[in-house]
Amino acid sequence: MIGRLNHVAIAVRDLEKATAVYRDTLGAKVTPPSVQAAHGVTVVFIELPNTKIELLEPLGADSPIGKFLDKNPDGGIHHVCYEVDDIIAARDQLKAQGARVLGDGEPKIGAHDKPVLFLHPKDFCGTLVELEQA
């Protein structure tokens, strides 16, 4: 069902500082910041030859990333994102197998302008999983 690893997301308190680490220290190509108001974050993507790293900074007081950073003050890995060919078929198959889809269960448009869903970490070895339609 799952395809390639699309990205690993890392929550950070200071997007500019974190971006500088990847760009200036590690020499990575970094996208400009993008506000994702529907998800409560501002993001940049670190473009690697085989995948991406997404840096997430909270946007507003109700950001789910803010809550994550409250529990993990130094930041850290927030989720992994896998591509799927058909997000609705993947959702329906996962739900039939007992997996929990977060939110209302309907895909939302993600940072790549493609439909995304999040799966409950308790169903996936403690890892928050994002599915993105390829």
Query: In whole angstroms, how far apart are CA 34 and each of 59, 71, 91?
Result: 11, 24, 27
Q: Which residues pair with 71 in a beta bridge?
A: none
Q: How far apart are CA 24 and CA 18, in angstroms?
A: 10
**Catalytic one of 54, 57, 83, 130:** 130
Q: How far apart are CA 96 and CA 29, in angstroms?
A: 40
Task: Determine the residue type at 53.
Answer: I
Q: How far apart are CA 97 and CA 86, in angstroms?
A: 17
Residue 54: active-site member: no
Q: Looking at the annotation, which residues are catalytic?
A: 130
